[in-house]
Chains A and B, each alone.
Chain A
Amino acid sequence: MLTYILRRFLDLVLVLFGVSVLVFLMIRLIPGDAVQIMLGANTEITPDRLQALREKLGLNKPLPVQYWDWLTGVLRGDLGQSVWTGAPIRDEILARLPLTLELTALSLILGVILSIPIGILTAYWRNSTGEYLVRLAAIAGVTVPSFWLGTLFIYLSFRLWPTFPTIGYVPLTQDPVGHFSRLLFPILALSLPLLAGLSRLLRSTLLDILNQDYIRTARAKGLSERIVLYKHALRNALIPLVTVVGIQAGYLFGGAIVVEQVFALPGMGRLIVGAINERNYPLVQGSILLVTAGFVFINLLVDLAYAYLDPRVEYA
């Protein structure tokens, strides 16, 4: 087990190195002169300003030196400064990240919790009509755009309950009820595709397991279906669910970036889109790096949890 953890950790370091190189190269690979593009989007271009910005971003040094300076800064927690405001990028991201993480986490929790009863119920609905309807609903659920669903929620709540607050943001410390009521629709819109996918996965794993010999033995010795399901089948069926949660968290985060725009929530979505429109490349770069590194770690944790939960996984 220890060698497995070490190996996975080494993989993680390699992937993070690759991610850092790609993100670092982002500004350098921009077709044309990145500095000119950045300046042109905001002020008049003068040779002095070009030179100043180039020096500020460290673009006047050799490439390996640039990477080293940048990487050591990142590892110290310094993501550089926002080009226009001069504010530390780390602070700008940390101000927006919690909301997006809250959205992602709550949607993930809701999706996982609801998928368990739905997966179980549909696993016992096995005639051909059931098969088709469950499959159609699952695929439709996965393909419905969350940002459209959110828009529909806003419209319907305006029709049915015009005073219900749907748009905007209220900090948790200021008004907890207002905070969560404004997050209700975004969370519902984000968790539906996840719910559809996870329910389908759980159903198909359950169906495989319920056909296995040890389940037949459990039934043959007279155990009630409840006990067969909860004590024997469900525990094993939940393991594959764990493996996809890490990947799903990444999808959800991406979805949250878009859904935030629907509900005018000041999270990472607005930060990144705003940064792109202002050609504030270091901010885009820092956001992508930080979020991706976070998900690489989450996926490592998921893999380790999976290895721990399923004794059949080989650590070799």
Chain B
Amino acid sequence: MSGAWTLARGLLKNPLGALGLGLTLLVVLGGLLAPLIAPYDPLGQDILARLSGPSPRHWLGTDQFGRDVLSRILYGIRASLSVAGLSVIIALLIGGFLGVSAAYYGGLYDRLVMRVMDVFLAFPIILLAIGIIAMLGPNQWNTALAIGIVYTPIFARLVRGPTLVLRESEYVQAAQALGASTLRVMWRHLLPNLASVILVQSTLSLSTAILVEASLSFLGLGTQPPTPSLGLMLSEGRAYLTLSPWTSVFSGLAILVASLGFNLLGDVLRDALDPRLKGR
């Protein structure tokens, strides 16, 4: 716990770290507390106030059905963070396991696993995600699974290198000599040493996963209506762009803020956890 405090204080000393932490907190709290703080039902229609601009009643205006844009954005952030978060967890679990076990066992298994990862990395990210969604059918959870699969090789590669070094270290060999099981060695001795690279990569991956999710929803291949989704809101708002740009402008801004917050945080964390790298 004291480690987390030191890290947070280090982050706050850097203005960009403070900004990243602030934006991330804003977005995460906004998404988490959406049901409590959203001023209106995100699906509730106020036909008389369709396509109105920002006003004291509707801070960010209303959409083509008279739905409150601010409430929809808060719920949209909630959906976006759930999908992005789940996808990073999937990638971290599968990729982390594959990378650590490949390095740990080495040999043919290692070569085979990393070859398969190379194959997945050969696809342009969006295209592979689209392919997986085409198979499974477009909805929120399949989007999370698709992004998770696409990001798996990133985590596998990330942890493989350090594990190769750690495997040869004296304390891992000592643990093995004492008869610790492979799983115990991985969990107790390898994982804690990989925590900082995993933390940085997860934060940065969250940032890009938010963008990929928004892109897929924008194409109509992600979250399906009427569930509020930032990408979908941006897309739907375009039909009324000249009349009432609010929906598209604010939903896109929310995507930017969410992605920017995590990216700044990850960028500054990388410096804080690895003093050899200077932030440039």
Contacts and interface: CB of A to CB of B under 8 A. Distances in A.
Contact of B238 (A145, A262, A275): A262
Interface stretch (B47-55, B157-165, B240-248): B240-248
Given A148-B255, A151-B241, A26 B234 contact: no
A31 B136 contact: yes
Interface in B1-55: 15-16, 19
B280 A29 contact: no
A296 interface: yes
A239 interface: no
Contacts of B116: 18
B124 A295 contact: yes
Given A30-B135, A147-B215, A288-B131, A250 B124 contact: yes
Given A135-B280, A295-B124, A258 B134 contact: no
A142 B259 CA distance: 9
A253 interface: yes
Contacts, number: 148
B249 A152 contact: yes
B47 to A, nearest CB: 25
A14 B115 contact: yes
Contacts of A147: 214-215, 218, 234, 252
Interface in B104-130: 115-116, 118-120, 122-128, 130
Contact of B134 (A19, A26, A143): A26
Contact of A261 (B131, B219, B253, B267): B219
Given A254-B125, A254-B126, A276-B134, A145 B118 contact: no
Given A135-B267, A136-B16, A258-B215, A273 B131 contact: no
Contacts of A183: none
B263 A143 contact: yes
A250 B235 CA distance: 23
A140 interface: yes
Contacts of B73: none
Given A18-B119, A155-B245, A295-B122, A204 B131 contact: no
A23 interface: yes
Nearest to B216: A258
Given A18-B118, A143-B263, A26 B218 contact: no
B108 to A, nearest CB: 15
Contacts of B127: 253-254, 257, 288, 291-292
A273 B221 contact: yes
Interface string A133-167: 00110011011110110011011001000000000
A158 B242 contact: yes
Contact of B135 (A29, A144, A251, A272): A29
A193 to B, nearest CB: 9
Interface residues of B, number: 49
Contact of A155 (B15, B128, B241): B241
A270 to B, nearest CB: 10
Interface in B202-250: 207, 211, 214-215, 218-221, 234-235, 238, 241-242, 245, 248-249
B263 A139 contact: yes
A261 B218 contact: yes
A143 B259 contact: yes
A203 interface: yes
Contacts of A200: 280
28 contacts: A15-B118, A18-B122, A19-B119, A19-B122, A132-B16, A139-B264, A143-B207, A143-B263, A145-B211, A147-B214, A147-B234, A147-B252, A148-B255, A152-B252, A158-B241, A250-B124, A254-B127, A255-B215, A257-B127, A257-B130, A258-B218, A261-B218, A262-B238, A272-B130, A276-B134, A276-B221, A285-B131, A288-B127
Top 10 nearest A-B pairs by Cβ distance? A148-B252, A254-B126, A18-B119, A204-B280, A250-B124, A143-B259, A143-B260, A254-B124, A276-B134, A258-B215
Given A31-B135, A261-B218, 17 more contacts: A14-B115, A18-B118, A19-B119, A26-B131, A132-B15, A135-B279, A139-B267, A143-B260, A143-B263, A147-B252, A152-B249, A154-B241, A158-B242, A204-B280, A261-B219, A284-B131, A288-B123
Interface of A: 11, 14-15, 18-19, 22-23, 26-27, 29-31, 131-132, 135-136, 139-140, 142-145, 147-148, 151-152, 154-155, 158, 200, 203-204, 207, 250-251, 253-255, 257-258, 261-262, 269, 272-273, 275-277, 281, 284-285, 288, 291-292, 295-296, 299
